[in-house]
Amino acid sequence: MKLSQQTLNELVSSNFQYASVLDRFGIAFYEHPENTLQQVCNQKGLQINPILKSLELTQNIGNEEVKSLSKISAKMLVEYLRKAHALFMKDRLPYLNRLVQHLDFKTNPIAKDLQILVPLFAEDFINHIHEEEDTLFAYILQLNTVNHADCRWGDLYQMVEKYAIAHFADDHETHDDEMKGIRDITRGYILPDHAGLLWQVVYAELQVFEKELQFHAHVENHILFPKALVLEKLVKEKIARLSLLN
């Protein structure tokens, strides 16, 4: 059966990730479960072709992305990670929160826990993102700039004394399991008895988001930090040379 002629329940049941695609177009599958995609598009005045194309393109992150990221500069990697942060804050986290808020806590008390914990997690995670961008990312971009331009050695010395990639890396390791609380409450994402489609989508999306965070952390820990350490080493060598001239 064509995707356009399937009900939203049928679509999402066949691939839970379709729910997030529909959400980006302003379609909440749980509000129109028995309507076909074509019917919902007609009701909302939406063009169906862009939606169908997005559904067909839905796929998971693969190993090829890791290989390609390892080949780019630290500066470009920071820009890539900033875009990922923006996606988390503007798309993924609001979507997860909307899903969770529609769970019926009268049928399962875990819903109430998730409705409290997910927004708290989102707030903490967003604060972590802002702190990381204002300190670590800013420092790496400074290292990149001074490595390719003339600068007073005193300014360079103060910069590397204030920050250190090794310290950032150690601190980052302690924040790599942000979703432990959610994982514990859901008992490792084991669905409640008689869980409906919305519960299935919520648990699937939480697991997808956790995998996205793990991938993000892998990129930072195993690709960004090694590149940043090389930059920092070059800047320290530059400081040593400049100090001899003064």
Residue 197 contacts residue 9 (beta carbons within 8 Å): yes
Does pLDDT of 228 surpass 50?
Answer: yes
Does pLDDT of 67 surpass 50?
Answer: yes
Query: How many helices and strands, by DSSP H and E, does the chain display?
Result: 14, 0
Does pLDDT of 59 surpass 60?
Answer: no
Inter-CA distances, 72 with 64, 76, 80, 206, 219, Å: 13, 6, 10, 30, 12
Q: Which fold has domain 1-59?
A: SP0561-like (1.10.3910)
Q: What is the 3-state secondary structure (H, E, C) of 43-65?
A: HHCCCHHHHHHHHHHCCCCCHHH
Task: Please give the structure tokens belonging to residue 114.
Answer: 């998730």
Residue 9 pLDDT class (50, 70, 90 cuts): very high
Does pLDDT of 196 surpass 70?
Answer: yes
pLDDT, tens digit (0-9, with 9 covering 90-100), for 168-190:
877 776 555 778 899 999 999 99
pLDDT, tens digit (0-9, with 9 covering 90-100), for 12-48:
999 998 999 999 899 999 999 999 999 999 999 999 9
Q: Which residues pair with 36 in a beta bridge?
A: 7
Does pLDDT of 60 surpass 50?
Answer: no
CA separation for the pair 194, 14 (Å, rounded): 18
Report, as an integer, the average pLDDT of 92-102: 96
Quick one: pLDDT at residue 61? 44
Inter-CA distances, 6 with 59, 187, 210, Å: 20, 33, 29
**DSSP H or E segment with residue 146:** helix 138-147
- Which of 27-31, 147-151, 173-177, 228-232 bottoms out in mean pLDDT, i.e. has the lowest? 173-177
Average pLDDT value over all residues in the chain:
87
Tell me the pTM.
0.82
Q: Which residues contact 236 (CB under 8 A, 6 or more apart)?
A: 160
Quick one: pLDDT at residue 114? 96
Q: How far is CA 180 from the centre of its chain?
A: 16
Higher pLDDT, 17 or 85: 85
Quick one: pLDDT at residue 235? 84
Report, as an integer, the average pLDDT of 237-242: 76
CA separation for the pair 129, 92 (Å, rounded): 14
Amino acid letter, 26: G
Quick one: pLDDT at residue 125? 94
Quick one: pLDDT at residue 68? 84
Question: How many residues would you count in the chain?
Answer: 246
Where are the chain's structural domains? 1-59, 62-245
